Amino acid sequence: MADDVWILGIHMTKFGKHPDKDTVDLACEAGMGALADGGVTMRDMGILAAGNLMGGPGSIGQMIQKQMGQTGIPVYNVANACATGATALRTAIMAVKAGECDAGLAVGVEKLAGAGLLAGGARGKDSDEWTPRGRYGAVAPVDGRIGTETMPGVFAQIGMEYGHKYGGVDFELFAKISEKNHAHSTLNPLASYQKRFTLEEIMNDVMIAYPNTRPMCSANCDGAAAAVVVSNAKLKSMPLAQQKRAVKISASVLTTDPWEEACQILPNVNTLTRNAAKQAYESAGVGPDDLDLVELHDCFATAELVHYDNLGLCEEGGAADYFRSGATWRDGRMPVNVSGGLESKGHPIAATGIANIWEICHHLRGEAGDRQIENARVGLAHVIGLGSACGVHILERSAA
Amino acid sequence: MPQQIPLVDYLALSPEPHLVAHECTACGARYFDHRNACANCFATEFRDASVATTGELRAFTIVSLAAPGIPVPFVAGVIDCGGTSVRANVVNIEPDADHVHVGMKVRLATQPVGVDAAGTEAIGFGFEPLERDPGVAER
């Protein structure tokens, strides 16, 4: 199709600890890597979309330009919680689709190594005078007094709620999901952790928020990822070798959470994911059965379970049985998070929504080395940012 | 008796402790915080609506790692109070997976938060098991 948009080049840094690189250095490593991978330069780019969520230097896009090429193009600094990377990518895709330019660069970067709880990690002191403040008229901080604001706790409840609704879910099931992803990461040299854990080790590790123990939580780490997207016309002007490695963006969808009872109490990560998946499948003209691999947002083991269902990989209510069938292991019929996922590859927040695309592209190009999913033709990448935002991209191997 | 103030303004302490939601007069959607307009139907009129004081625990977690100053472990959960979902701690229960389970019936219970310099006592709330396990000590 004439208006198809393609990923021409893509790169991710090693996820982990990068004490000798600052946020901008990491972003540039990913950005320059993506340009080189696509055989283009900053001169070819018509837009730069960049995201950095937590405590970065601000205006990350302009700071990147100053380190790798100031050409005067528009910069969009985006923020969308854990969906920031996917939002940056989609911003570049939309600019190309709108005909404003024929090539764009999207970058996501974060430095989080050593960070603890990102939400609910600090609570204000009680004042010496009870004065109602804020939208709830609270006289004192409520975290820990009226539920929890910590992400491991919020996502634990999301998994437990699924179990309550459909049954067949327990602590061990969630731990087994984590066991899978840690096992997968042993084949990913760019993962933060490449250590296999036994089920016992996972269940007996430090409890963070039941049923999520430490290895069942996403790993805070440093990392960046970047992608170059181009129009169909631009792709056709590229050497055949580049055209063969290009990956088609068959769907790029972003949704937010529609109002539902209870969404003011516990974020509903289900409906917006279901809506995004439905739109993406329609847009791409494929269904879940056509997918060869999926990278989904396993920010906690409890989250991965519900997204099997939300992405339509299994029947409604059937996520526990689906996992127990072995389907989502890398040798199953629907490999999920063969990168190791956020629990083991790591979750440098704004990079995550491009890093999962990188993983899919690697398999579609047949360049994933030891962890290659053979003959992968179609893949899906999913991210959730609480608040909420959901990004779903469906990618297809080039026919060239 | 010292003067009392609720931890949040949607907790009413009298005549009996109960939660009060802001209910959209057009569609019935309920909110505990102050809204500019209804997130469901965009209407701007709200009325106070009392929330049932008993309910069913629909989801929970047992938080073992929290911000400094928050006593752990504690049970945080979502309680379905007659169709209105409430976020709260589950209190007066052993905070372990042998004692807490989804589907359990609970009721509203108030708890002291502390006394400020003027001597006013802040009162918070949680939900406790409707049927007290006789072997569980009061927490």
The domain spans of chain B are 4-129
- Res A2: pLDDT: 65
pLDDT higher than 90, residue A124: no
Lookup: tokens for B52: 């049932």
Q: How confident is the model at residue A115 (pLDDT cuts 50, 70, 90)?
A: confident
Q: Which of A125, A135, A266 is nearest residue B78 as measured by Cβ atoms?
A: A266
A375 and A326 housed in the same domain? yes
Q: Kindly report whether the peptide bond that precedes residue A267 is cis, defined as omega within 30 degrees of 0.
A: no
pLDDT tens, position by position, A35-82: 999 999 999 999 999 999 987 667 999 999 999 999 999 999 999 999
Measured distance CA(A316)–CA(A70) in Å, rounded: 50
Q: Is B17 on the interface with A (CB under 8 A)?
A: no
Residues A79, A195: one domain? no
Residues A231 and A370 in one domain: no
Residue A148 contacts B where some CB pair is shorter than 8 Å:
yes
Indicate if A228 and A256 belong to the same structural domain. no
Phi, psi (rounded to 5 degrees) for A13? -80, 165
Hey, how many other C-beta atoms are within 10 angstroms of the C-beta on A74?
Answer: 13
Least CB-CB distance to A144: which of B67, B102, B114? B67
- Do residue B59 and residue A266 have CB atoms under 8 angstroms apart? yes
- Strand-pair partners of A384: A390
Do A24 and A48 lie in one domain? The reply is yes
Contact (CB<8Å) B76/A208: no
Whether residue A146 lies inside any domain: the answer is: no
Structure tokens at A256: 């937010």
Judge whether residue A106 has pLDDT over 80: yes
Helices A301-310, A271-284: axis angle to 10 degrees equals 50
Torsion angle defined by CA atoms of residues A289, A194, A149 and A313, in that order, rounded to the nearest 10 degrees: 10
Say if strands B105-115 and B121-129 run parallel, antiparallel, or are unpaired.
Answer: antiparallel
Q: Could you report the per-residue pLDDT of B106-137, keeping only the tens digit for each?
A: 999 999 999 999 999 999 999 999 986 555 54
Strand order in the sheet with A389-397: A75-78, A48-51, A103-110, A223-231, A5-12, A247-256, A389-397, A378-385, A293-295
B39 vs B29: CA distance, rounded Å? 8
- Are A203 and A243 members of one domain? no
Residue of B nearest to A260 (CA): B40
**Cβ within 8 Å of residue B53, ≥6 positions away:** B16, B17, B18, B19, B81, B107, B108
pLDDT of residue B1 exceeding 60: no
**CA–CA distance, A391 with A363 (Å, rounded to integer):** 20
Q: Is residue A125 part of a domain?
A: no
Domain total of chain A: 2
Q: Quote the CA–CA distance of B132 and A189 in Å, as a whole number.
A: 53
Pick the range with the lowest mean pLDDT from A8-17, A112-121, A343-352: A112-121
Residues in B 81-100 with any Cβ partner in A closer than 8 A: 83-89, 97
A67 touches chain B (CB under 8 A): no
Enumerate the H helices of A227-374 as residue ranges. Answer: 232-236, 240-245, 271-284, 301-310, 319-324, 341-344, 349-364
Of B5, B74, B76, the CB nearest to A139: B5
User: Are the C-beta atoms of residues B77 and B89 closer than 8 Å to each other?
Assistant: yes
Long-range contacts: B68-71, Cβ < 8 Å, 24+?
Answer: B68/A122, B68/A123, B69/A123, B69/A125, B70/A123, B70/A143, B70/A144, B71/A144
Measure Cα distances from B56 to A19, A162, A259, B53 in Å: 48, 15, 22, 10
Express each pLDDT in A158-193 by its tens digit.
999 999 999 999 999 999 999 999 999 999 999 999
In this predicted structure, what is the pLDDT of residue A30?
98
Token pair for A270: 């289900």
- Do A261 and A390 lie in one domain? The reply is yes
| Interchain CB contact of A136 with B (< 8 Å) | yes
Q: Rounded to an integer, what distance in angstroms lies between the CA atom of residue A59 and that of residue B108?
A: 47
> CB contact, 8 Å: A387 with chain B?
no
A160 touches chain B (CB under 8 A): yes
| CB of B26 less than 8 A from some CB of A | no
On whether residue A168 sits in a domain, the answer given is yes
- Does residue A145 belong to any structural domain of this protein? no
Interface of A with B in 210-249 (CB under 8 A): 210-212
In a domain, A348, yes or no: yes
Residue B136: what pLDDT?
A: 52
Q: Which tokens sit at A93?
A: 């895709």
Contact present, A33 and A41 (Cβ < 8 Å): no
Q: Is the peptide bond before B15 cis (omega within 30 degrees of 0)?
A: yes
A66 touches chain B (CB under 8 A): no
pTM of the model: 0.95
Confidence of residue A116 (pLDDT cuts 50, 70, 90): confident
Q: Please say if the pLDDT value at position B2 is more than 80.
A: no
Give the β-pairing of A378-385 and A103-110. Answer: unpaired
pLDDT at A281 over 90: yes
Beta strands in A160-211 (DSSP E): 207-210
Residues B53-103 pLDDT 10s: 999 999 999 999 998 889 999 999 999 999 999 999 999 999 999 999 999
Other residues' Cβ atoms within 10 Å of the Cβ of residue A133: 12
Whether A169 contacts chain B with CB within 8 A: no
Residues of A in contact with B10 (CB under 8 A): 136-137
B7 touches chain A (CB under 8 A): yes
Put simply, whether B117 touches A (Cβ < 8 Å) is: yes
Instruction: Name the average pLDDT for chain A.
Output: 96
pLDDT tier for residue A1 given thresholds of 50, 70 and 90 = low
Residue B6 has pLDDT above 90, yes or no: yes
Q: What range defines the domain where residue A63 resides?
A: 5-115+221-247
Would A139 be classed as within a structural domain?
no
Q: Which residues of B touch A136 (CB under 8 A)?
A: 8-10, 32-33
- Residue-averaged pLDDT of chain B: 93
Is B114 in Cβ contact with A140 (below 8 Å)? yes
Q: What does the pLDDT read at residue A123?
A: 80
Closest partner CB to B32 (pick from A136, A156, A158): A136
Please give the DSSP secondary-structure letter assigned to residue B92: S
Q: Both A109 and A241 in a single domain?
A: yes
Would A129 be classed as within a structural domain? no
Residue A129: closest C-alpha in chain B: B116
Kindly identify which residue of chain A lies nearest to residue B81, measuring between CA atoms.
A262
Question: Across the interface, which of B10, B65, B85 has its CB nearest the CB of A117?
Answer: B65
Contact B67 A146 (CB under 8 A): no
Q: How far does CA A367 lie from the centroid of its chain?
A: 20
Give tens-digit pLDDT for A321-366.
999 999 999 999 999 999 999 999 999 999 999 999 999 999 999 9
**Alpha carbon distances (Å) from A88 to A295, A317, A352:** 18, 33, 11
Note whether A161 contacts B59, CB cutoff 8 Å: yes
Q: Which of A121, A261, A269 is nearest to B87 (CA)?
A: A261
Question: pLDDT band at B138, cuts 50/70/90?
Answer: very low
B1 or A363, higher pLDDT: A363
- Choose from B3, B8, B38, B51 for mutation: most chain A CBs within 10 A: B8
Put simply, the answer to whether B66 touches A136 (Cβ < 8 Å) is no
pLDDT at residue A386 greater than cutoff 90: yes
To the nearest whole Å, the CA of A255 is away from the closest chain B CA by 16
Q: Which long-range contacts (CB under 8 A, 24 or more apart) does B134-138 make?
A: B136/B92, B136/B93, B136/B94, B136/B99, B138/B92
CATH of the domain at A238: 3.40.47.10
What are the catalytic residues of A?
82, 347
* ipTM of the modeled complex: 0.94
Domain-embedded: residue A393: yes
What pLDDT digit, counting tens, does each position of A231-279 carry?
999 999 999 999 999 999 999 999 999 999 999 999 999 999 999 999 9
